[in-house]
C-alpha cells in the first residue's frame, strides 16, 4: 500500500508544477514580451507574429518531440511529461483569457516570472517528468551522442531564441531581461532539486598531513579520508586529505589550514548532493 502511494505522489506534483510554471509564464513573461528561450520562447515569438495562443503553440511544437521520445525515454517518463506539457499549455491559455497581468514593470516581471517558472520546472523535474521542449531533445541527444556537451548545446539554443526575440520584438532590453529570467529560473530549479545545503569537497596536499588532519578533526568536527597519491614532478608519495564540508564550515577550514600549513595546496569544488551519514540519507 505504501509503495502504491509513493508511486502516485509524482502525478499531483506534475500537475501543481505545471500550473505554477504557467502562472509565471502568462502573468509575467508573455505580457512583457520577455522571451525565456527554448520551445516556450519560440511559441511566444510565433504568438506575436500570428496571434495564435502561446499554450496551444507549445503543445503543437512538442507533439513531434514526444513522438520521437516515446520509446527512447520510457513510457512512464513520457506519460508524466505529456501530462505536464498538456496541463501547462492549457493553463497558459486559460490564464490568458482572464486578461490578468501581474505587472508592467519588466524587471519585476523578469524576476518573478523566473522564480515561478523555476519553481514549477523544479517540482516537475523532481517528480521525474518534464514539460517537453529542449530538455526532452537533450535527453534524446544524450542517448545518441554521449560525447556532446548538452549543457552548452541547450545554452546555444536558448541564446538563439532570445536573439530571435530581440529581432522580432525590436528591443535589446528584451534580451537582458530574458537573461535575468533564465538565470533566476535555473537557480530556483537547483534549489528545489538539491536544496539549500550545498556542500564543498576539499582536497588538501600538505607537507604536514598528520598535524593538519588532527587540527581539522578537532576544529571542524568532521570526517576525513586519506587518499594516497604521488607527485607528478617529484615522484614522491604524498597523502591527500579529502573532506566534505557544509557551507558554514568552510571559513573555519581555511583558517585551520592557514594556521597549520600556510603553503598547503587546497582544491575546492562544489558538491550538489551528498548522501550518507552526516548528510542526506539515500532513501
Q: pLDDT (tens digit, 0 to 9) for every residue of the chain, 283 residues total? A: 444 444 556 788 889 999 999 999 999 999 998 998 888 889 999 999 999 999 999 999 888 888 777 776 677 777 888 888 899 999 999 999 998 888 999 999 999 999 999 999 889 888 888 777 776 776 666 666 656 555 566 677 788 888 888 888 888 888 899 999 988 988 898 788 766 656 778 899 988 888 888 888 887 777 788 888 887 777 788 888 988 887 667 778 888 888 888 888 888 887 766 666 655 544 4
Domain regions of the chain by residue span: 2-194, 199-271
Cell numbers 517540482 correspond to what residue? 123
Q: What distances in angstroms separate CA 31 from CA 10, 92, 129, one per listed residue?
A: 31, 12, 27
pLDDT of residue 5: 42
Residue 160 CB-half CA count within 13 A: 10
Q: For the residues of 26-43, what is the DSSP string, one character each?
A: IIIITTTT---SHHHHHH
What pLDDT, on a 0 to 100 scale, did the predictor assign at position 139? 64
Q: CATH 3.30.70.120: does it fit domain 199-271?
A: yes
pLDDT of residue 91: 94
Contact 109, 102 (CB under 8 A): yes
Q: What are phi and psi of 230, to 5 degrees?
A: -140, 135
Q: Are 269 and 201 in contact (CB under 8 A)?
A: yes
Q: What is the pTM of this model?
A: 0.72
Beta-carbon count within 10 A of 103 CB: 15
DSSP string, 195-245: -S--EEEEEEE-S-HHHHHHHHHHHH----EEEEEE-TTT--EEEEEEEEE
Query: What gap in Å lies between CA 23 and CA 11, rounded to an integer?
Result: 19
Task: Round to the nearest angstrom and report the end-to-end CA distance of the chain.
Answer: 18
What does the block give as the cell for 168?
A: 522580432
Output the CA–CA distances (angstroms, integers) from residue 178 to 69, 111, 137, 229, 237, in the order listed.
Answer: 28, 10, 21, 46, 51
Q: In what order do the strands lie in the sheet with 237-246?
A: 225-230, 237-246, 199-205, 265-271
Amino acid at each position: 500500500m505504501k509503495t502504491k502511494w509513493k508511486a502516485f505522489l509524482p502525478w499531483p506534483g506534475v500537475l501543481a508544477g505545471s500550473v505554477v510554471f504557467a502562472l509565471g509564464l502568462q502573468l509575467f513573461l508573455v505580457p512583457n514580451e520577455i522571451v525565456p528561450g527554448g520551445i516556450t520562447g519560440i511559441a511566444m515569438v510565433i504568438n506575436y507574429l500570428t496571434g495564435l495562443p502561446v499554450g496551444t503553440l507549445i503543445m503543437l511544437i512538442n507533439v513531434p518531440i514526444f513522438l520521437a521520445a516515446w520509446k527512447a525515454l520510457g513510457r512512464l517518463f513520457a506519460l508524466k511529461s505529456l501530462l505536464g506539457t498538456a496541463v501547462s499549455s492549457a493553463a497558459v491559455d486559460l490564464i490568458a483569457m482572464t486578461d490578468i497581468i501581474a505587472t508592467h514593470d519588466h524587471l519585476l516581471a523578469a524576476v518573478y516570472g523566473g522564480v515561478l517558472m523555476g519553481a514549477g520546472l523544479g517540482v516537475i523535474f523532481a517528480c521525474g517528468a518534464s514539460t517537453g521542449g529542449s530538455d526532452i531533445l537533450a535527453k534524446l541527444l544524450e542517448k545518441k551522442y554521449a560525447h556532446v556537451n548538452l549543457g552548452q548545446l541547450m545554452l546555444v539554443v536558448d541564446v538563439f531564441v532570445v536573439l530571435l526575440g530581440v529581432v522580432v520584438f525590436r528591443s535589446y532590453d528584451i534580451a537582458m531581461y530574458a537573461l535575468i529570467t533564465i538565470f533566476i529560473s535555473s537557480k530556483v530549479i537547483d534549489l528545489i532539486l538539491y536544496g539549500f545545503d550545498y556542500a564543498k569537497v576539499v582536497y588538501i596536499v600538505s607537507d604536514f598531513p598528520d598535524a593538519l588532519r588532527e587540527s581539522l578533526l578537532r576544529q571542524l568536527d568532521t570526517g576525513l579520508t586519506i587518499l594516497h597519491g604521488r607527485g607528478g614532478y617529484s615522484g614522491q608519495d604524498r597523502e591527500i586529505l579529502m573532506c566534505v564540508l557544509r557551507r558554514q564550515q568552510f571559513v573555519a577550514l581555511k583558517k585551520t589550514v592557514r594556521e597549520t600549513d600556510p603553503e598547503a595546496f587546497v582544491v575546492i569544488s562544489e558538491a550538489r548532493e551528498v548522501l550518507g551519514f552526516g548528510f542526506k540519507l539515500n532513501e
